[in-house]
Structure 1
Amino acid sequence: MTTAYWCVLIAIFLPYLATGAAKFFGAGYGPQANSDPRAFLAGLQGWRRRANNAQQNAFEVTPAFAAAVLIAHQVGVAEQLLLDQLAVAFVVSRLLYFVCYLADWGPLRSLVWAFGMAMIVALFVVSA
């Protein structure tokens, strides 16, 4: 399995890092909240609310990243190292995005988001 494929697996689990932070690094989450976790998450404030927002964004972008990696492999991108580097850069951007979201660094978060999207576009471009 290539590094890029491993990055898809990592990207699939990154949203759970964010939701774990939102749920478990603060008071209030327990059996009662677990019966309706979406309602619990919707009522959060501050950094925990931002962690939940980061989770939702991660779920939105991961399918596009996975598709880009799969397509790049399917068409046989000549330089596997480039494909792997783009995939790793995407995963790193998502980790930085999570940090920026928690820290409430809106403008930097937007730049990191744009970089991650650029990595998805680059995967498609190298596949063309």
Structure 2
Amino acid sequence: MGDKTKRPDRRRQIGRLGEDVAAEHLAGLGWEILARNWRTRYGELDLIAAIGDTLVIVEVKTRASRTFGDPVAAVTPHKLRTMRLVARQWLAEQERYWPIIRFDIVSIQLDIADPEDLERATLAHHTGVVE
């Protein structure tokens, strides 16, 4: 039973590391991070960012092992539908109008031997995965 309590903490830690890498990547591109881990009862948006007049909803998928392949493969059609639903909820609370809304996925592969060595992480940014 003790093993089960450790896994979610590890998964949460890996997810947080990946989101940190993704947020730093986007900020380095000149994007403004508007929100992180925005939640409703229907789901969560990892990152909400803006570049000019474009709002970008970003799903971050992080892996610390190669067992399951490219992290982007974990984003299912169901997850994409959930992202759209939750994004509509976030937009309903905003005063600003966004003429362009895009959905991206940032996949992070952490180093197997040392996941916390973010210099060794690899990143792939998939743009416009949902129209």
Return the TM-score normalized by structure 2: 0.30
Higher strand share: 2
Structure number with greater Rg is 1
Higher helix share: 1
Return the TM-score normalized by structure 1: 0.30
